[in-house]
Structure 1
């Protein structure tokens, strides 16, 4: 199984809300699956986790940052990509506070445009109460441990 290092972004707006994307897969190995997840993605060859976090921040939100901020969590998880490949992912979570809730999808890839159905800023209470699937499952606790919520 291929190792897939990944930087995930815990983007917090001035109101203390967390940005999540709703993924709805209409084709491929994940057809029919829906879930909310953080922005972020796999590292490019030779890229550090911090550099990938900065790149992903710009690509997925349109916000350019020079520093990924603190890595507040790490998890290892196995999952299936849209093309059906199973990977073992080493995910590093970076806390990024932004000055505005305005984001842009201008730099999304074709795959992101096909899979991301919505974006939403979540308050802690909303995220704790949702029955929707959210990844990672312990995201509220992750943010509590980091002192965000």
Structure 2
């Protein structure tokens, strides 16, 4: 049975399913970024890497959503002052669960110590808590993994946003206060 998009997805003015989302570029002490690998139930042979995050709930700010999503998807609890940004925005248009969807995303960055960040060696929850995953996430998310910029660039799977390796490389040196706007990106 194909999972359904959640109630946070509404039909936008352009006729596409739409939601706002908050994403977090989590960096560890070794200079690696935490990524999630997922797939679409309708295209199980295709999988891709993306940052931790998800939809913004009603009445929630994007910062609050970012903190909640990190906790739910990884078990890592961040304080508000650990979250920097937003450092980047993008509007992703992609096919998912047999629909074309648009997700307007705000990205934050946070640094975590290695001991609080899981070992990230692979598997759905290796070194992380996935207790907060929804049923849809349990079905469609495959693993969490720390990757260096070089490993990210060498990936044979798709990475979203496409500019992520360059963004991570820049953020490793520190954020300069400029919000990077990626515009509209089609993930197909």
TM-score range, shorter chain: 0.7 to 0.9
Kindly indicate whether the alpha-carbon contact (under 8 Å) linking 2:149 and 2:168 is maintained by their aligned counterparts in 1: no
Q: Which TM-score applies when normalising by structure 2? A: 0.71
What is the count of residue pairs matched by the alignment? 146
Separation (CA, whole Å) in 2 of partners of 1:148 and 1:59? 28
**Structure 1 residues 4, 148: CA separation in 2 closer, same or farther (over 3 Å shift)?**
farther
Which structure shows the bigger proportion of residues in strand conformation? 2
Give structure 2 stretches of 5+ with no counterpart. Answer: 1-15, 119-127, 175-188
CA distance in 2, matches of 1:108, 1:76: 24
**How has the CA–CA distance of structure 1 residues 38 and 128 changed in structure 2, closer, same or farther, with 3 Å as cutoff?**
same
Task: Report the equivalent of 1:135.
Answer: 160
What residue number does 1:50 align with? 63
- Higher mean Cα deviation, 64-73 or 33-42? 64-73
Match status 1:80 vs 2:108: no
Please list every run of 5 or more consecutive structure 1 residues that lacks an aligned counterpart in the other structure: none
Instruction: Determine the C-alpha separation between the residues in 1 that align with 2:158 and 2:110.
Output: 23
- What does residue 145 of structure 2 align with? 120
Query: Which residue of the partner structure matches residue 113 of structure 2?
Result: 99
Q: Deviations over 1:63-103 (max 9, x none)?
A: 12231322111111212333x33322111111011113312
Aligned equivalent of 1:19: 34
Structure 1 distance, partners of 2:76, 2:49, is 20
**TM-score by structure 1 length?**
0.88
* Paired position in structure 2 for 1:64: 77
**Structure with the larger RCO, 1 or 2 (CA within 8 Å, 6+ apart):** 1
Any idea what SS the aligned residue of 1:55 has?
A: helix
Structure 1 residue 33: Cα displacement: 2.2
**Is 1:38–2:51 an aligned residue pair?**
yes
Q: Which of the pair has more CA radius of gyration?
A: 2
